[in-house]
Amino acid sequence: MLSEAQIQQISEFTQQHLQKTFVVSEQQWVRDFPRAAEHRWYHTLNVLQNTEKIVAGDKIPQDVADAARVAAILHDVSIFECDHSMHGRTGAETAKGFLSQNQYDPDFIARATRAIDEHGTDFDTLTPNEMGQQFSPEGKILIEADILDKLGAAAVSGALLILGKQARLGFECHELLSNSNAMQRATYFKDYIWSQTAKRMANQRFSFFLKFLEQLSEEVVEGPVADP
């Protein structure tokens, strides 16, 4: 069983690696987002919290739960040091290096890093059903936990922050949110969920997103959306 001290050590490594790679990254999207390292770390904590809810709710065996926890903490560790399409594979290698150096069991390392690699898969290549059949239990928990952070109030607030940066006004929000990346992502990813607990959470969160839009349209008179 993983100890608190181990969770702490893996968390510190991840947070430091994110910060270190963020500072030297030359990728434009990273340079355009001055608090990207902090943002990614707090996303990681949300994913870990979602993982805890899934493993408790679905009574996941200890060994799978521990590998899923470690995968959750390390899943985006390499996000700033490679192309997004490679961040699962590269993150798995970074995680393997760290976990091996710290004498984790090779079988445990293989399970955690396989999950990290799997979460970086191009989703267009596999249906939810195919992924459900082919992926490891730890990989599926990680993917669900990650997707849950894209579905509900977190998705709404993230999208509103982007609209605020673009100097958008309240009367434009309903239309812009309805057609936002956040809505498209939530609609696309919400079916890549397999456990009972994550299904319940996903339904509740996505319904909240839709409900928010409904309530907004009830309260706010919409006007024409200006060119940005």
| Site residues for Fe ion per CB under 5 A | 76, 146
Of 76 and 138, which has the nearer Cβ to Fe ion? 76
Ramachandran quadrant class, 127 (left: phi over 0; alpha: psi -120 to 50; beta: rest): beta
Of 81 and 146, which has the nearer Cβ to Fe ion? 146
Least separation in angstroms between residue 85's CB and Fe ion is 11
Of 76 and 81, which has the nearer Cβ to Fe ion? 76
Place of tokens 């445990």: 108
Least separation in angstroms between residue 47's CB and Fe ion is 6
Contact predicate 44/72, CB 8 Å: yes
Least separation in angstroms between residue 167's CB and Fe ion is 28
Of 73 and 173, which has the nearer Cβ to Fe ion? 73
The encoded tokens of residue 42 equal 């707090």
Q: Alpha-carbon distance 145 to 54, whole Å?
A: 8
Q: What is the CA radius of gyration of the chain?
A: 18
Least separation in angstroms between residue 103's CB and Fe ion is 26
Contact predicate 194/133, CB 8 Å: no
Least separation in angstroms between residue 88's CB and Fe ion is 7
Q: State residue 181 phi and psi, 5-degree precision.
A: -60, -40
Beta strands in the chain (DSSP E): none
Of 43 and 174, which has the nearer Cβ to Fe ion? 43
Least separation in angstroms between residue 154's CB and Fe ion is 12
Torsion of CA 49, 29, 131, 182, to 10 degrees: 70
Of 85 and 133, which has the nearer Cβ to Fe ion? 85
Contact predicate 138/177, CB 8 Å: no
